[in-house]
Structure 1
Amino acid sequence: MNARFEGKVVLITGATSGIGEAVARRIAAEGGAVVLGARGKEAGERLGGEIRERGGRALFVPTDVTVEADVERLTAAAVSEFGRLDGAFNNAGAVNAFGPVQDIEESGWRADLELNLTAVYYGLRHQVPALLASGGGAILNNASNLGVVGMASVAPYVAAKHGVVGLTRAVALENAEHGLRVNAIVSGAVDTPAFRNSMGATPEGEAAIAALHPLGRISRPEEIAAFCTFLLSDEASFITGAALAVDGGFTAR
């Protein structure tokens, strides 16, 4: 691999599995220092250790992205450990509430908004000043395909992810003149542990989800990571305020 991230420091949430892990491994392999934020301490320490064993630079900070103090501490740790922050990938997210909207309790609504939208706000609130202090850089938010289309039975998640797209565009406009780019990815179904534990738990479930994508399959985390690392790199220097699809054609229907 090339050295696109040599001398760069990139913060990643939801970093210990799936897309986040794949992005962390790729950036580290391309010369960047990665700051890993996630709830799972054992998985985080293991991933950080593996990256360091391969000659990379990595720091794991236990983080609950729904707690602003945790997000603030994660960002501060990146700057304290490596002296700067050049990029951030706000990737943590999950569906908490299922069913018709009239059957969803307020607690489920709030849980989806807190994890999938408010947590991104917390990230931006602390990442933007740190990035500006380093001279700019790039932020990427994971909006998922449900950030631009609807789906029945997951209304709170859809609402939150649509909010991520709007938040991305607003913050991109606020910071364009300062050399800070902010984009969102619109990702389709990805073969992650979370997917395997839910919709892809059975061959029938996986086939049904795969059929929603014109390419006829779900993606590998490494495929999404390739696009994410491009958007976080200087190669994407003229892209900001965009919600870009890497979804096997899901949103093209």
Structure 2
Amino acid sequence: MNHIFAITGSQSGMGLAFRANLERLGHQVIGIDLPGKGAEVTADLSTKDGRNAAVAGVLALCQKPLDGVIANAGIDSEDSRFVFAINYEGVIDVLNGLRPSLAANSGARVLITSSNSMFITPGIPEQAVDHLLCGSLEEAIQIVGSKSNVCYQVSKLALVRWMRARAVEWAKEGITMNAIAPGAVRTPLLERDLIDPVKGPVIRALPKPLGEFPAANDIAGLAAFLLSEQARFIVGQVVTIDGGIEVSWREKDFPSTWQISESDWMNRMKL
């Protein structure tokens, strides 16, 4: 059966790979990207008006309820306000705007592109994450302050926590929400970063148990599965696909046990 999927950031990098793979499988894709990139819907997701335009544009092109959304658009910058606007607020506003269409479907999927950097970067300020989750953007920006080099990780961590906090509620409407956490992916952007005098040495130092980083097509295969009927019982999960970077460094602290009292557990179980 052909499905209709919307993809933000659909015209380059992983978004383009997601698009090409879904179209190869016979699905219709409504791409959302900046003007001049050839997407069906053009919008600047860093602004509220742009997000509203993205939602309206997608709905105008749908002949039936959406089958799924890949929230893929994102940037890495030291401008924390810009990063939070696109990577966090932009994703949430677009997903909330498309939620009624997704809920009208009997088994819709939402997939969020996160990053393995939230697992392997030291010193991510938890308070900034908490402020984003509470809608306190200015406070989050203030806390990041001189640590603007971690605003990307803050945005991705907050987004995953937002997703997990709502996964059950959305699942009751027939919408499963999950996230993928890629690491370094072989794209033109990575090639540019490799020749950067600051980023290049860091990327080359990353562990590669398989001998190479995954290509965008490798990530696209996982995305297609998580959007499929076979993934209907996967809810609120984060799937890391980084060729073994994260497990090379954190092989002993995951999974961890649930530190909860028996009485609290009984309350959760409603026993």
Sort the TM-score into its range (normalised by shorter chain). Answer: 0.7 to 0.9
Q: 1:96 aligns with which of 59, 77, 84?
A: 77
Q: Which amino acid aligns with 1:212?
A: L
Contact 1:190 1:219 in 2 (8 A): yes
Structure 2 counterpart of 1:134, from 74, 85, 105: 105
Q: Deviations over 1:109-136 (max 9, x none)?
A: 2122112111111122112222002334
Give the root-mean-square deviation of aligned CA atoms: 2.1
Q: Deviations over 1:24-72 (max 9, x none)?
A: 011111111101111142x325xxxxxxxxxxxxxx1111112233333
Contact 1:209–1:218 under 8 Å retained in 2: no
Superposed displacement of residue 151, structure 1: 4.8
Report the counterpart of residue 60 of structure 2 in structure 1: 80
Q: What TM-score, normalized by structure 1, do the two folds share?
A: 0.80
- Structure 2 matches for 1:10-159, cutoff 5 A? 10-41=5-36, 43-45=37-39, 60-83=40-63, 84-97=65-78, 108-151=79-122, 154-159=149-154
The one-letter amino acid of 1:140's match is: L
| 1:186 match: secondary structure | strand
Match status 1:187 vs 2:173: no
Q: Deviations over 1:66-102 (max 9, x none)?
A: 22333333233333323221100111111110xxxxx
Question: Is contact 1:147-1:164 (8 Å) kept?
Answer: no
Q: Deviation string for 1:220-253 (max 9, x for gaps)?
A: 1101111111111112111110011001112112
The aligned amino acid for 1:163 is A
What letter is aligned with 1:131? Answer: L
Distance 1:155 1:75, change over 3 A: same
> CA 1:116 to 1:73, structure 2 compared with 1: closer, same or farther past 3 Å?
same
The Cα of 1:183 is off from its aligned counterpart by 0.5
Note the residue ranges of structure 1 that are not aligned, 5 or more in a row.
Answer: 1-5, 46-59, 98-107
Query: What letter corresponds to residue 112 of structure 2 in structure 1?
Result: N
1-structure distance, mates of 2:87, 2:109: 20
Matching of residue 212 in structure 1 with residue 183 in structure 2: no
Inter-partner Cα distance in structure 2 for 1:140 and 1:28 = 17
**Aligned: 1:250 with 2:230:** no
Query: Any stretches of 5+ residues in structure 2 without a counterpart?
Result: 124-146, 250-271
Secondary structure at the residue paired with 2:45? coil
Residues 11 and 75 in structure 1, CA contact (< 8 A), matched pair in contact too: no
8 Å CA contact 1:210, 1:217 repeated in 2? no
Task: Give structure 1 regions of 4+ aligned residues with deviation exceeding 6 angstroms.
Answer: none
The superposition leaves residues 122-167 of structure 1 with CA deviations (integer Å, 9 ceiling, x where unpaired) of: 1221122220023341001111112333257621111111101101
Kindly provide the CA deviation profile for residues 165-210 of structure 1, in whole angstroms up to 9, marking residues without a partner as x.
101112212111221000011101112222233x223699657414
AA partner of residue 171 (structure 1)? R
d(CA) in 2 for partners of 1:165 and 1:73? Answer: 24
- Change in CA separation of 1:61 and 1:214 when aligned onto 2, cut-off 3 Å: same
**Which amino acid is 2:97 matched to?**
H
Number of aligned residues: 222
3-state SS in 2 of match to 1:164? helix
Answer whether contact 2:105 2:174 (CA < 8 A) is retained: no
Following the alignment from structure 1 to structure 2, what is the Cα–Cα distance between the partners of residues 149 and 164? 16
